[in-house]
Amino acid sequence: MELPLGRKGIPTGERRALRRPIRRTALLRAFLGLALVALLTYAFVLARGADVRQAPLVPSQTTAVLVLDQSASIGDYPRIAAALRRIAREEERAGFVIFSGGAYELLPPGTPARELEPFARFFTPLREGGEVYPRSPWDAAEFRGGTSIGSGLDAARRALLRDGVSRGSIVLASDLDVEADSESVSDAIVAIRQEGIQLRIIPIGALPQHRAYFERIVGRTAFL
């Protein structure tokens, strides 16, 4: 009876000859693996850097006007204080307009943005974690009646034109309630676009339908 033939092994000389190519292949695989990890890490960092929340509130190399909603319905004062302080740190130039039923210019365009910092105290609680805030000069009931976003946007646009600003921007911080003046808001945004003024929006407790209205006319990329 014949026994099955066994497999012939690789000659010792051939095994030695293959060691170097095998080692090179292993090293190449390890290198490619590390390169892939590095590439994915870099892509992740870029994605985080592109997050709109990391973008400056004031478009670079523009003179801005912050348009702040001070109607009775506005809330989330800490978010307003944070926006004021953030713009103040950006070392740009910025005017300041507040509005409710009408608009009032507090600082003209071209003012160093750091001048916004003192206003933040009116939106900072007297005690940490508390809900009592300092009384502001515009707390009068007659000023806080109604919401006219259009008047605030128009006041900012006219201030930029009055001061001869060639590269202007407007940062609107509001709850975006357009129930009473959607037509004036639409007209104001058309005029802003015609003048080549950039518009950015900080929603402050905006209802979904109000935010959706602005997204339709200015696009989602305008939101911060």
Residue 7, strand partner residues: none
The letter for the amino acid at 71 is S
Check if the beta carbon of residue 116 is closer than 8 Å to that of residue 84: yes
Q: Tens digits of per-residue pLDDT, 58-107?
A: 888 899 999 999 987 888 899 999 999 999 998 788 999 999 888 999 99
Answer whether 173's CB lies under 8 Å from 83's CB. yes
Q: How far apart are the first and last CA of the chain?
A: 87
pLDDT digits (tens, 9 = 90+) for 207-222: 999 999 999 999 999 9
pTM, full prediction: 0.73
The string of pLDDT tens digits covering residues 26-47 is 655 655 555 444 444 434 333 3
Q: Which amino acid is at 95?
A: G
